[in-house]
Amino acid sequence: MRRLHRRLALLATATAMVSAPAAAELVFWKEVAGWRISRSSDEPSCTMTSSYEREGQTFLFLNYTPAKDDAYLAISNNLWQSIVEDEKMVLDYHLGGEVWSDVKATGLSYSDRSKGFSSLFDGSDFLTDFALAPYLKIMRGETVIDRLSLKGTKAAVIELSRCAASRNKGLLKDPFAN
């Protein structure tokens, strides 16, 4: 569990670097169906995370920012040492019967020596597919990178949305629109 919390902190920092100039801290919100839901300390967003016990330990981090309607997905594993930080790649994400093809991904490297990749998605559409899918299979060309169970994601995504909505109360999507 200690390793999981260290990974959460590392991934929160990675998310903060993508979405904000200052490092954000994750604050525990709720545990739902095996997923840990947290909110950002300084951004109007929430995250859900899960760790998969397998060789190399795969870790999944999903951040949702309703004001931007984006979902930032990061997946890492201790064995993926050939990933180069900031390397650009194209991946396919299979969410049950739905496929998000030719998605741009960026290589990540963490201080605990694990490596991974991240992608940015249209938030509401991706969350719907993610919530309803029984699994997530990630592919790079014909190579399967990983296949992860999404058991419990429907309940977790509902709670993630509640968390995010509580962070955005009273905020207009575009306060400059007429």
Strand partners, 88: 106
Q: Measured between alpha carbons, how far is 78 from 135 in angstroms, rounded to an integer?
A: 21
Return the percentage of the chain with pLDDT > 90, whole number.
Answer: 68
pLDDT at 106: 98
pLDDT in tens, 12-67: 434 443 443 345 689 999 999 999 999 988 888 999 999 999 888 999 999 999 88
Q: Measured between alpha carbons, how far is 96 from 93 in angstroms, rounded to an integer?
A: 9
Q: Measured between alpha carbons, how far is 176 from 178 in angstroms, rounded to an integer?
A: 6
Q: Measured between alpha carbons, how far is 51 from 160 in angstroms, rounded to an integer?
A: 17
pLDDT at 172: 54
pLDDT in tens, 53-62: 988 899 999 9
The full set of domains in the chain, from first to last, is: 2-167 (2.60.40.1880)
What is the rounded average pLDDT for all residues in the chain? 85
Global confidence as pTM: 0.82
pLDDT at 166: 85
pLDDT at 112: 79
From the list 34, 30, 33, 26, the residue with the least C-alpha distance to 53 is: 34
Q: Does residue 61 contact residue 18 with C-beta atoms inside 8 Å?
A: no
From the list 34, 20, 26, 81, the residue with the least C-alpha distance to 56 is: 81
